[in-house]
Copies of this chain bind each other. A is one copy, B any other.
């Protein structure tokens, strides 16, 4: 049996463990969504793209549940939101320190490792404000 091909049962088991650790009840829908999101490497999804992708695996999950789940996963620290577009939300399975290239026309996000990039000279915020995070978006386009 090839090691590269994970068994569905493996993926489910991992997803269930991950959900339990996060304090989320492992429902059929959450297990399926977690499977799709976390079985491969780092991913960037929108609610709609994830909904479509899950639909293609044959499992039926409502769009409302996809939204609920993305928000719950984000609150639980399994995902983070990435803001690059004024009209839709992206969610990122990479919750570590990193930044993004964004290909606007394609809605495509590409990670930039946190170690490789640095922002210098950020002034102290005005009195009464403190820095939450610093986001860098490198907007790129096809040649």
Asked whether B85 lies within 8 Å of A110 as measured between CB atoms, the reply is no
Main DSSP-derived SS at the A contact region:
strand
Q: Which residue of B lies closest to A115 (CB)?
A: B121
Given A131-B140, A133-B139, A136-B134, answer yes or no on A101-B117 (Cβ-Cβ < 8 Å): no
Is residue A84 contacting chain B, with contact meaning CB distance below 8 A? yes
Given A86-B88, A131-B140, answer yes or no on A120-B121 (Cβ-Cβ < 8 Å): no
What is the CA–CA distance of A112 and B135 in the complex, to the nearest angstrom?
Answer: 14
Indicate which residue in B81, B104, B117, B131 contacts A86 across the interface (CB closer than 8 Å).
B81
Indicate which residue in B121, B131, B138 contacts A139 across the interface (CB closer than 8 Å).
B131
Task: Annotate A109-140 by CB proximity to B: 1 below 8 A, 0 otherwise.
Answer: 01010001111111101101111111111111
Asked whether A131 lies within 8 Å of B135 as measured between CB atoms, the reply is no
Task: Annotate A66-87 by CB proximity to B: 1 below 8 A, 0 otherwise.
Answer: 0000000000000001011111
Indicate which residue in B87, B121, B132, B136 contacts A135 across the interface (CB closer than 8 Å).
B136
Given contacts A104-B132, A131-B140, A135-B137, 17 further A-B contacts (CB under 8 A): A83-B84, A86-B88, A86-B89, A101-B126, A110-B126, A117-B121, A117-B122, A117-B123, A118-B121, A119-B119, A120-B120, A128-B143, A129-B140, A130-B141, A131-B139, A133-B139, A134-B136
